[in-house]
Amino acid sequence: MKPDGNVIRGPGGSLALPEFDEASLDLLMLIEGETSGAPLDDVLARFGRSRSTYYEKLRRFREQGLEGLIAQPTGPRGAWRRPLEVVRFIVRARLRDPNRSAVDLVEELSRLGHTVSLRSVERTLTQFGLTRRSGAQARPQNARRA
């Protein structure tokens, strides 16, 4: 089996790999890098990859097989949302005391055993329309606009 461009050629024929399929190109790179006898720097230059990327892909291939070469999206690994108990606490606390800051709520949640970021508390307050105006106090509803 001899890689040629994005084609694998062997004594019985050839197999062209689609250029848009990163996983198959990564597999071809690993096959060439591990079996061709060519200097690794030449293989990396041909595929436009760095040495660290090559070894990371090789490690993932050895641990997970082809599945390890399929691109994984970055970011959270699953849908995460604030537990209902935490959301209820934030909303009730702000309704009981509108002057209570988001920082105070984070500290209270921490004392109760919930690890919640300040940004999460702020998002919850915004979601329920419980944010305070920064600086100036909210205008009374019966006040007229100028």
What pLDDT digit, counting tens, does each position of 82-102 carry?
888 999 999 999 999 999 999
The four Cα atoms 135, 141, 143, 146 give a dihedral, to 10 degrees, of 70
- Whether the CB-CB separation of 6 and 25 falls below 8 Å is answered with yes
Residues 56 and 102 in one domain: no
pLDDT, tens digit, 9 for 90 and up, residues 115-139: 899 999 999 999 899 987 654 444 4
Residues 32-55 have a mean pLDDT of: 93
| Any domain includes 135 | no
| Any domain includes 93 | yes
Place of tokens 């329309």: 129
Residues 93 and 53 in one domain: no
pTM: predicted TM-score of the whole model, two decimal places: 0.49
- Whether the CB-CB separation of 19 and 25 falls below 8 Å is answered with yes
Place of tokens 């979601």: 127
pLDDT, tens digit, 9 for 90 and up, residues 51-75: 999 999 999 999 999 999 988 777 6
Domain extent for 53: 2-69
- Give 142's DSSP letter: T
Residues 39 and 8 in one domain: yes
| Spatial separation of the C-alpha atoms in residues 14 and 8, rounded to whole Å | 5
Q: Angle 142-95-125 (CA atoms, 0-180°, nearest 5)? A: 100
| Any domain includes 39 | yes
- Whether the CB-CB separation of 49 and 58 falls below 8 Å is answered with no
Map residue 52 onto helix, strand or coil. helix
